[in-house]
């Protein structure tokens, strides 16, 4: 009876220990898997964060738009404008708006009615002055412009075709002129532009509205990153992943890898084995040469 109870107790303890060991193995696998997933997610998020930070640091704002509110002095004796329409456009209240080393195109848009005065006006000049925060002039540019010519026949046909839209207010008889004031402007680090002064050098011009557009002329890596954002993000995040995994692997090897003496023993042991193999091959080759020499002498005798 004691033998049977002892046997049952031993079997029970054996099954219990085996179950505990299997449970520990399962928990270890779950823990290792969770740590691996957490580490992979952390590395992935760090790679994404680094690429986003680099993108917003390296890629400038593509466009800056500012409205132009033209001002002039009215004539006292006669109706009309007695001075050239001009305006002060404040780009930023801060010290700097544009990115250093990035070329920009500065454009001016004029929305003008196709009035008889504008048509008879012909060409006119528009000038712009770039100034820094202290009021010093950085650059100056003037451009000429005029309304696009249209013959009487073309104007009549266009008016007849667009008559319903013109009556309902869907279209207007106007043109928008684009003046490229600066084609390749780069910001000066010591004197960044904060204000633009604009002047339309004609007292008889009619203007609906005007605006300044500062567009970044991207090239090289910036052009690729902005034009193909998904492909650039994939390549950038993959590069960050490879770099971070390499750094983590080297750090882990330095902290938890074999000690320096074991590494030295392994390295020198490997060299010793290679040297021994070379010596054995050398001696073996000498023995083969001696055997061949003896065979040649026997053949001669």
Nearest 5°: the CA angle 252, 254, 257 is: 75
Using pLDDT thresholds of 50, 70 and 90, give the confidence band for residue 211: very high
For residue 153, the model assigns a pLDDT of: 87
User: Average model confidence (pLDDT) for the chain?
Assistant: 82
pLDDT at position 299: 57
Please tell me the predicted confidence (pLDDT) of residue 3: 60
Threshold 0.75, pTM exceeds: no
Q: In the chain, what are the domain boundaries?
A: 2-58+225-253, 63-217, 258-300
Closest CA to 173 of 156, 190, 189, 187: 156
Residue 180 has pLDDT above 80, yes or no: yes
DSSP state at residue 149: P
CATH 2.60.40 fits 63-217, yes or no: no
The pLDDT tens digits for 156-178 are: 888 888 888 778 877 888 999 99
User: Which residues, including other chains, have CB under 8 Å from residue 70's CB and lie 6 or more apart?
Assistant: 85, 86, 87, 198, 200, 207, 210
DSSP 246: H
- Banded pLDDT at 154 (limits 50, 70, 90): confident
* Token reading at 223: 């052009």
Q: If you average pLDDT over residues 118-124, what whole number do you get?
A: 91
The backbone torsions φ and ψ at residue 115, rounded to the nearest 5 degrees and listed phi first, read: -80, 160
Q: What is the pLDDT of residue 29?
A: 83
| The pLDDT of residue 199 | 95
Using a pLDDT cut of 90, give the percent of the chain over it. Answer: 40
What angle do helix axes 229-256 and 2-58 make, rounded to 10 degrees? 130
265 pLDDT more than 50: no
Q: Which of 133-147, 171-185, 252-266 shows the lowest per-residue confidence on average (mean pLDDT)? A: 252-266
pLDDT > 80? residue 275: no
């Amino acid at each position: 009876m004691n033998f049977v109870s002892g046997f049952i107790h031993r079997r029970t303890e054996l099954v219990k220990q085996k179950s505990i060991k299997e449970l520990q193995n399962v928990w270890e696998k779950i823990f290792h898997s969770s740590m691996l997933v957490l580490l992979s997610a952390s590395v992935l998020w760090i790679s994404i964060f680094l690429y986003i930070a680099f993108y917003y640091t390296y890629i400038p704002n593509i466009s800056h738009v500012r409205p132009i509110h033209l001002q002039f002095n009215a004539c006292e004796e006669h109706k009309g404008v007695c001075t050239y329409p001009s305006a002060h456009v404040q780009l930023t209240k801060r010290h700097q708006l544009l990115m250093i080393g990035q070329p920009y195109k500065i454009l001016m848009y004029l929305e003008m009615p196709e009035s008889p005065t504008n048509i008879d006006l012909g060409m006119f000049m528009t000038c712009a002055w770039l100034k820094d925060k202290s009021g010093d002039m950085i650059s100056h540019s003037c451009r000429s412009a005029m309304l696009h010519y249209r013959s009487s026949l073309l104007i009549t046909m266009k008016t007849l075709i667009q008559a319903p839209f013109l009556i309902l207010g869907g279209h207007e008889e106007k043109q928008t002129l684009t003046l490229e004031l600066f084609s390749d402007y780069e910001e000066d680090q010591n004197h960044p532009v904060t204000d633009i002064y604009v002047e339309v050098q004609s007292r008889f011009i009619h203007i609906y509205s005007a605006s300044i557009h500062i567009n970044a002329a991207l090239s090289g890596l910036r052009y690729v990153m902005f034009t193909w954002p998904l492909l650039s993000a994939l390549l950038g995040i993959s590069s960050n992943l490879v770099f971070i995994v390499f750094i983590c692997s080297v750090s882990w090897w330095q902290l938890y890898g074999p000690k320096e003496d074991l590494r030295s023993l392994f390295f020198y042991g490997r060299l010793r084995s290679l040297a021994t193999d070379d010596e054995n091959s050398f001696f073996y080759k000498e023995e083969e040469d001696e055997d061949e020499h003896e065979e040649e002498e026997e053949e001669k005798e």
